[in-house]
Amino acid sequence: MPEVYVGHQAIERALDFLRQEGHRRVTLVTDDNLYEILGRKVETALKEAGFETRLIVLRGQVLADERSIVQVLLPRDEGERIYLSVGSGTLTDVTRFASHRSGCRFIAMPTAPSMDGYASDGSSLTIGGYKQTIFSRPPIGIFADLKTLTEAPRPMIASGFGDMFGKFTATADWKLAQVLWDEPYNEEIARRSRAAVENCAAQARVFGQDWEANIHALMSGLLEEGLCMLAVSSSRPASGSEHQFSHFWEMKMLREGRPAVFHGTKVGIASVMTAGYYRLIRGLDRAELKARLDAARLPDWEAEIAGIRQVYGPVAEDVIASQKAYMQMTPEGFEAYKHRILERWDEVQAIAAAVPEPETITALLRQVGAPAAPAEVGLTDEDVRQALRYALYVRSAYTVLRLCQALDLTLQPA
């Protein structure tokens, strides 16, 4: 597990850690905005401390895509050198990937409490327009300067809270996948993830009363979520249906050339929608469940594939390829799946009962100044309609969206 520090001596602690680990040659990766905020100070401290420092500053709008990856990888020389990223989620993901592919280690200095992936071993990248998580190298150290975090733009802080509130539904989806689809599950890690989001929810209720404490708790929660993912080598403790919605919108907006919306902001909005699906599950008694299961049929995959191609456009074939496990289900397998839903319905209901009401998550988002409805970030009714219908095909993870597809339960757009 990485060394983790959140406080006012992040640079000093990072330099001490580099010395202890025997690193003297550093590649510092940042962007032109964050260089002025923290990168210049880090560069100066490195050079004054005698570290051989190479600086890579990404210019303009930085995306976690092929262009940024190439910019980080190209200057690499033959000698051993550790990467140090100074930035938020995008820069960390790019540096993590470059570190892994070049066989170098890296440490992260987060500049905003905006997302939960700082500690993880997966890079969330958009390659060829397709959003995917690619196995990479986790950092060996994370050093977050609290002053920089407290001065981060408010929308990025709101995004961090949105990403955290998505764990209410992500942990439920993870357990649901174990009960109905035999996916690996770790109860201890799930409890840690849930405790982190509960702590952030408590901070949201007193948001603004002690700003430094609020931000410290948020950053600590985000780092804990990353450590949970790292512990099981999976995003399941922190990513479920709400991330399927978020990635669906991100890919769609990118294809259409629309302004980007922070990842956690979209996740927060989507967590409200996902909580709505769990409310539908809670409202389903056993008699109606049985009637819906009796009427359930395997998807018409020819029609589904046609819809996926229309909605996902150039990344459709990647999406279709991710669905093989579901597309190959036989009628006999589907009957066994339906029987399992009926047999384990009490467990499903218990999972659903642990998910807050959509209004509760909405209130938490409002308390931290985060958007709670799609229209607030420029998402149209058509964006929402398409996501409700096709977001379940983002990745292969089993989530409540897959269960509701089998039961023909549909959330109505607000």
277-320 pLDDT, tens per residue? 999 999 999 999 999 999 999 999 999 999 999 999 999 999 99
CATH 1.20.1090.10: does it fit domain 158-407?
yes
With a pLDDT cut of 70, the percent of the chain lying above it is: 99
Cα 69 to Cα 92: distance, rounded to the nearest angstrom: 11
99: pLDDT confidence band, cut at 50, 70 and 90? confident
119-166 tens-digit pLDDT: 887 777 777 877 777 777 889 999 999 999 999 999 999 999 999 999
Q: For every residue of 85-117, which 3-state class applies, written as one string? A: EEECHHHHHHHHHHHHHHCCCEEEEECCCCCCC
Boundaries of every domain in the chain = 3-152, 158-407
Q: Is 101 exposed, middle or buried (0-12, 13-18, 19+ CB in 10 A)?
A: middle
Contacts of 273 (CB under 8 A, 6+ apart): 242, 245, 358, 388, 411
Instruction: Please state, rounded to an integer, the average pLDDT across all residues of the chain.
Output: 93
Cα 124 to Cα 249: distance, rounded to the nearest angstrom: 15
CATH 3.30.43.10: does it fit domain 3-152?
no
Beta strand extents in 32-175 (DSSP E only): 52-58, 82-87, 106-110, 122-127, 130-135, 141-145
Residue 400, SS3 per DSSP: helix
Cα 277 to Cα 83: distance, rounded to the nearest angstrom: 42
51: pLDDT confidence band, cut at 50, 70 and 90? very high
- Token pair listed for 5: 């520090």
Using CA atoms, how far residue 253 sits from 142, 193, 223, 249, 370, in Å, is: 31, 30, 28, 6, 20
Q: What is the pLDDT of residue 76?
A: 67
Average confidence (pLDDT) over 324-343: 96
CB 130 within 8 A of CB 66: no
Kindly tell me if the per-residue pLDDT of 79 is higher than 80.
no
Kindly tell me if the per-residue pLDDT of 80 is higher than 80.
no
Q: What is the pLDDT of residue 70?
A: 83
**DSSP letter at 186?**
-
